[in-house]
Every structure is written in C-alpha cells, then in structure tokens.
C-alpha cells in the first residue's frame, strides 16, 4: 500500500492552503486527492471579484485567488491526483480512492485533512410543492453552466434564497442577458453579505422580498412560472399574499451543507448545528489524526478565512505526524455559547495545547444590534468586543490568547456570551 504522511481530501481552497502550510511546516510527504479535472475547487466558477482582500490586500477573482495557491502547490512540488474520487476513509486513516488510471487504490496516511467543501441544499430538501420540470437549478449549478461552460440556463429568472451565490448569480444572469425578476428570501434578513446585496441586487434594480418563499412551481416540461408568498413568523405562507411570476428558471440559493459523507465512513463525529465535524483547537476531529478545514468543517462567507483556517489544519497535521502534539485528549473543554451564537469552531479546547493566538469563529442565530461579544473563563470576563450588528449571514470571530488561559490555569468552564451593549 502507498504511504503518505498527509493525505488531503479535496484540492479546493482549503485543501490547497492546508497542503502549502504543511509543506512550510517541513512536511514533504503530502498527497492531494481531487475529484474534479483541475485544482481550485468551486473558486474556478466564481469569476466575480472580491476574493483575497484579507489575504492579499487586493481584489481578485475566484480563479485568480485559486491560482495563487495552485502556484504554491506546484512550486513546492506537492503531489496531487485529479479526477480522483475518494470512496472511503477508515478510522485507521487508510484512504481508498478511485480514478481511471490507478483504478481503486488505497493510501495509508499519517494524517488526513478533510477539505471536501460543501454542497447546495436542493429543492427536495425544502419540500417546495409543484411540478418537477426542467429549469430548476441550484445557484451553483447555474453558475457552473454560465461561467465555465458558457451556457444560459434560462431567460427569465426567479431566485429563491439570498445566500451569496444566489445574489452573485442574480447579477451574473443579468449581465449575461437574462431578466431576474425577484429574489425571495424566507427569513426576515438576507443570508448573504451586505456588500453583495448592494452590488448584485440594488445596483441592478432587482427586488429582494424578505419573508417570502416559493409556494408553487408551474410547468410540465420547462418551468413556466412560480408563485411566491409572504410567510408569517413561523415561516408558514400567509394565504392571500401569493404573487405569480412568469419565468422559465428558478434558481435556488437556500443554504450550503458541509459534505461529510466520507467523514462518516471514518467515524468522525459531526455537529448537529454545522453538519461539520466537531474539532478541537488543533482542528482535529473526534478521530485522532483526521483534521478538517474549510466548508466541510463549517460554511464560510469569505475564502480568506478558509485559507487561514486550512493553513492551521495543515500545520497541525504536520505536527501531529511528527508526534509533537500530546496524544492525551482528556483535558479538552467545550466552548459554551450563550445569548446568540449557535456554535463555535473549534468547539473544544485543551488550554495546555493552545497556540499564542487562536481564532474562534461562530455564527449567531438572528440579527443582533449593538452587542458585546465576551469570553468568560470560569465566570470571569477576560475579553469583550463590541459589535454594531451581527447577522447569521456573516461569520463572527473572537481571538483567544494563550495568556488569558495562563491566568486561569485550572479553568473548568469556557463560555462565549453575547450581551446587550
């Protein structure tokens, strides 16, 4: 059986950054397995700009951003295999994959980094009633068709969901010559970044209807129209508010789901909130030596943060392989959340293993204005940061410092609490 010290599942932004950072940490035996025909992952179809503001201090398109990391991987001569689908990961870190040339093969890995990304929630998962004609696409599928294959999926478009891909596609479809009639959003707030609402909808006069959903899809062969209606506070459609939009296309941008079917084969424990693995401060999952980063861990808004997180996973995986991280995990403490955050990544911490600084990321469950985000150690507040506004569509972070924990050597309770300012 082939052996690599680190096997990375996925050659998108997370996998590339993890590989590059593991190399910089001194690791040379690295293999990236990528299911697509090229590296770069979903960035390849994100041809709009706005990537890399944090990482490179400039505005790049998705493919440009990906290229910077692909170049690093190529320069460092990190091995990768394309068109290769990983079929199974065992708890003992044997990765089984398949492609045309190698057939079905297994690789023994010193450490595994999960970087498979996420998938889009489908119409079926929402139980949207109506017919099942052609013309219903997830926003990402439409994005691939338009941006990578040069095809128009439709002419008159209604978009359900105001996640970032939906917003980006509203603008893209408009620029390609389609008429985007409306974006409907179930929640009373948008799921996307504020800047995308301004630049993708407002600038093109596309209406955003909050607290609205699609209640019927018409069309036997191809979509001929959809009906949207306002919803009440329980997200139930309000009778009498139905509006019919004739269209040939319905795009869905109704949420992203970390794609963890493989993680399950390895016995990795998943969070019910994020659908991603529960990880410690090393970004190590419940299975020793299996790390996770990027959208497979939790869905991000900005790729810059994916790269940062993945680099950390890459470094930690390299340290794990070298045996530099103590194996004992019995001292891990959960990070509790109160007053708004729905989860944190990481979700547990062993204070003894903390780096100098650790960025803890989370999302809140509803829009909150004028708050403090506080860190309490055994009931004592050690950190307080003011936030003008927090929304579920924008990931929040809090930076833990090792020094805070050194002042509380016997800490038993770690809590992030959001408080009214």
Partner 1 sequence: MYDVVIIGAGVTGCAVARYLARYEVNACVLERGSDVCTGTSKANSAIVHAGYDAENGSLMAKYNVEGSLMMEPLSKELDFAYDRCGSLVVCLSEEDLPKLWDLYRNGVANGVEDLRVIGRTELKDLEPNVSDNAVAALWAPTGAIVCPFGLTIALAENAYTNGVEFRLNTEVLEVRRTENGYVIETNQGTVEAKAVVNAAGVYADVIHNMVSEEKMTIVPRKGEYMLLDHAAEGYVRHTVFQLPGKFGKGVLVSPTVHGNVIVGPTALDIEDKEGVNTTAAGLQDVTEKSGLAMKDIPLRQVITSFAGLRAHEARHEFILGECADAPGFFDCAGIESPGLSSAPAIGLHMSDLIAEKLGLSRNEDFKGERKGILDAKTLSPEERNELIKREPAYGQIICRCESVSEGEILDAIRRPLGARDLDAVKRRVRAGMGRCQAGFCSPRVIEILARELNVPESEITKTGGGSKYIVGTAKDRI
Binding residues for partner 1, rule: CB under 8 A, are: 35, 83, 85, 87, 98-104, 119-120, 122-125, 127, 129-134, 137-138, 140-141, 144-146, 149-155, 176-177, 215-217, 220-222, 237, 248, 261
Q: Is the dihedral of CA 272, 196, 190, 210 positive or negative?
A: negative
- The whole-angstrom separation of Cα 235 and Cα 129 is 15
Which C-beta is closer to partner 1: that of 84 or that of 190?
Answer: 84
CB 311 within 8 A of CB 391: no
Give me the DSSP letters along 172-204. HHHHTT-EEEEEEESSSS-SS-HHHIIIIIGGG
The SS3 assignment for 303 reads: helix
Which C-beta is closer to partner 1: that of 132 or that of 385?
Answer: 132
CB of 246 to partner 1, least distance (A): 15
CB of 216 to partner 1, least distance (A): 8
Q: Give the residue carrying structure tokens 């209807």.
A: 209
CB of 148 to partner 1, least distance (A): 8
Which C-beta is closer to partner 1: that of 137 or that of 291?
Answer: 137
Pairing of strands 290-292, 103-114: parallel
CB 373 within 8 A of CB 350: no
Q: Which of 244, 251, 240, 239 is nearest to 228 (CA)?
A: 244
CB of 366 to partner 1, least distance (A): 21
Which C-beta is closer to partner 1: that of 252 or that of 360?
Answer: 252
In degrees, rounded to 5, the angle at the alpha carbon of residue 168 between the alpha carbons of residues 142 and 294 is: 85
Q: 361: which strand partners?
A: 345, 397
CB of 185 to partner 1, least distance (A): 19
CB of 259 to partner 1, least distance (A): 8
Which C-beta is closer to partner 1: that of 87 or that of 210?
Answer: 87
- The whole-angstrom separation of Cα 211 and Cα 136 is 21
User: Distances from the Cα of 74 to the Cαs of 12, 86, 164, 250, 394, in angstroms?
Assistant: 14, 22, 30, 40, 33
Which C-beta is closer to partner 1: that of 89 or that of 414?
Answer: 89
Which C-beta is closer to partner 1: that of 147 or that of 316?
Answer: 147
CB 170 within 8 A of CB 206: yes
Which C-beta is closer to partner 1: that of 152 or that of 421?
Answer: 152
CB of 13 to partner 1, least distance (A): 17
Measure CA 287 to chain center: 21
CB of 394 to partner 1, least distance (A): 25
């Amino acid at each position: 059986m082939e052996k690599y010290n680190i096997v990375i599942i996925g050659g998108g932004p997370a996998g590339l950054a993890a590989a590059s950072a593991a190399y910089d940490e001194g690791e040379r035996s690295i293999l990236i397995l990528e299911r697509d025909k090229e590296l770069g992952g979903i960035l390849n179809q994100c041809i709009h700009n706005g990537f890399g503001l944090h990482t490179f201090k400039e505005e790049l398109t998705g493919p440009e951003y990906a290229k910077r990391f692909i170049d690093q991987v190529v320069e460092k001569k990190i091995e990768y295999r394309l068109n290769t689908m990983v079929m199974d990961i065992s708890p003992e870190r044997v990765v089984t994959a398949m492609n045309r040339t190698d057939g079905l093969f297994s690789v023994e890995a010193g450490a595994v980094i999960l970087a498979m990304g996420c998938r889009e929630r489908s119409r079926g998962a929402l139980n949207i009633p109506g017919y099942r004609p052609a013309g219903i696409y997830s926003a990402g599928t439409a994005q691939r068709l338009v941006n990578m294959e040069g095809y128009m999926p439709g002419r008159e478009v209604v978009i359900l969901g105001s996640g970032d891909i939906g917003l980006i596609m509203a603008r893209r479809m408009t620029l390609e010559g389609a008429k985007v009639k409306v974006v409907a959003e179930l929640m009373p707030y948008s799921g996307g970044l504020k800047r995308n609402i301004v630049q993708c909808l407002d600038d093109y006069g596309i209406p955003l209807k909050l607290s609205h959903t699609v209640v019927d899809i018409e069309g036997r062969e191809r979509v001929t129209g959809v009906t949207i209606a306002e919803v009440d506070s329980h997200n139930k459609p309000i009778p009498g508010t139905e509006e019919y939009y004739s269209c040939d296309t319905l795009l869905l941008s109704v949420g992203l789901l970390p794609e963890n079917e493989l993680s399950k084969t390895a016995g990795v424990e998943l969070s019910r909130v994020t659908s991603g693995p529960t990880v410690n401060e090393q970004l190590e999952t419940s299975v020793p030596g299996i790390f996770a980063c990027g959208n497979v861990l939790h869905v991000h808004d900005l790729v810059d943060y994916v790269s940062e997180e993945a680099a950390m996973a890459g470094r930690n995986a390299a340290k794990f392989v070298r045996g530099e991280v103590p194996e004992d995990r019995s001292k891990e403490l959960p990070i509790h959340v109160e007053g708004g955050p729905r989860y944190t990544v990481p979700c547990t911490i062993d204070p003894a293993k903390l780096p100098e600084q650790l960025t803890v990321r989370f999302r809140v469950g509803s829009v909150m204005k004028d708050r403090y985000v506080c860190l309490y150690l055994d009931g004592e507040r050690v950190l307080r940061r003011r936030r003008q506004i927090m929304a579920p569509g924008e990931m929040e972070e809090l930076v833990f410092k090792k020094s805070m924990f050194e002042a509380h050597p016997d800490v038993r309770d770690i809590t992030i609490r959001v408080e009214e300012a």
